[in-house]
Amino acid sequence: MFVRTYGTLYMQNSEVFQDLFTELKRYYTGGNVNLEEMLNDFWARLLERMFQLINPQYHFTEDYLECVSKYTDQLKPFGDVPRKLKVQVTRAFIAARTFVQGLTVGREVANRVSKVSPTPGCIRALMKMLYCPYCRGLPTVKPCNNYCLNVMKGCLANQADLDTEWNLFIDAMLLVAERLEGPFNIESVMDPIDVKISEAIMNMQENSMQVSAKVFQGCGQPKPAPALRSSRSVPENFNTRFRPYNPEERPTTAAGTSLDRLVTDIKEKLKLSKKFWSTFPYTICKDERVTAGPLNEEDCWNGHTKARYLPEIMNDGLTNQINNPEVDVDITRPDTFIRQQIMALRVMTNKLKNAYNGNDVNFQDTSDETSGSGSGSGCTDDICPTEFDFITTEAPPVDSDRREVEASATQPGRSLQMLLIVFISLVLQRQWR
């Protein structure tokens, strides 16, 4: 568009615009870019270039142009476009980048939790539930549904503790998704940005005499340029007026933009993933390949024989497993890796809330080895470490006493461990896809 409208003038100054879009892309992909400073720098550089074009009869030194750029806020040579564009661009990019980072954190947390190894107590309970019917001559009898629930609630006790923070994380993601659908939709902000910049240039052209007079008053009278340059006139530099922007010329579809469809689809998947960890045992135990189902409570394996399972179903979470009749759970030793994932979700939730309010957030710069704060950050590195501090750590090694128990486990125990991991992985993939 700029080439068609301004021709050679744009080509000679294209790096100013290219740098703007390069920095916007770097910010979106996780770079350490201060959006407000970057946009201010763009308008200051554009003012310097424009000022030279509208005053070709003068020669300007670097120091003089630096003085000119200081008048950007005072003179408002581009009208109200810079202020409005700053609000739209910062809000849109903050929301979009944080939302994408939130999706990454959610996926990584789910993937890493799916790889947490079951405890020896869980392995014994799974063996009793899935293999003991064969020893009793009941190979076709499946475990009772409630029996399975107690086993899985014991096996997934630590995972269930993710639920509270996970639900808060999902709520925050849905809030930011609203920003992507509203006036700060990054697609609707970026689509006409070339038109808005051109409107700003037109404002500068129309007010060129007033702007030049005030700059000359503040920065001093510049030296005349050589005769060759002074022969050029302003109309030769700006001989094309930019035609008004017509929104109807932009391609649209009945379902809206592609981003609209993506956000709608993602929101539906996010809503389905709420309470995911607390309902995890129910998701596994309702599978007809695993249990006899809730309708066959009399003809199922209850851990001892073919009969109804009588113990009550445990509540969710680690502390509620103290009296679990099927799985020996040490409620005094929470899984440290699961706790790391809870913290990762908590940090990301705080960043999403900041992004919803239009405040930039800290992200580690993925473009180099340095890290830093974005503009208007809602928290410091000490209080709010980046999510990468958590999601890039591997699961901690098992301690010595657990290693001794697992070393003595039988081959069926190892098969059960793999079976549980496969169960978890399949459900996670289906839910988070």
Residue 102 contacts residue 176 (beta carbons within 8 Å) = yes
Q: How many residues does the chain have?
A: 433
Of 353, 373, 358, residue with least CA distance to 27: 373
pLDDT at 318: 93
Say if pTM beats, i.e. exceeds, 0.95: no
pLDDT at 295: 83
User: Angle 385-386-388 (CA atoms, 0-180°, nearest 5)?
Assistant: 130
Residue 123 contacts residue 413 (beta carbons within 8 Å) = yes
Distance CA 89, CA 87 (A): 6
pLDDT at 165: 96
Three-class SS of 60-73: CCHHHHHHHHCCHH
Residue 105 contacts residue 344 (beta carbons within 8 Å) = yes
The one-character DSSP state at 379 is S
Residue type at position 227: A
Residue 93 contacts residue 101 (beta carbons within 8 Å) = no
User: Angle 50-53-59 (CA atoms, 0-180°, nearest 5)?
Assistant: 110
- Per-residue pLDDT of the chain (433 residues), as tens digits, is 444 545 455 556 678 888 999 999 999 888 888 999 999 999 988 888 888 888 888 888 888 888 888 877 787 888 889 999 998 899 999 999 999 999 999 999 999 998 888 999 999 999 999 999 988 899 999 999 999 999 999 999 999 999 999 999 999 999 999 888 877 788 888 888 888 888 888 888 888 888 888 888 888 888 887 764 444 444 444 444 444 444 444 444 444 457 778 888 899 999 999 999 999 999 999 988 899 888 888 889 999 999 999 999 999 999 999 999 999 999 998 999 999 999 999 999 999 999 998 887 654 444 333 333 344 333 333 333 333 333 333 333 334 344 443 443 444 444 444 444 444 454 444 544 5
Distance CA 265, CA 218 (A): 55
Of 61, 33, 116, 36, residue with least CA distance to 373: 33
Distance CA 241, CA 4 (A): 11
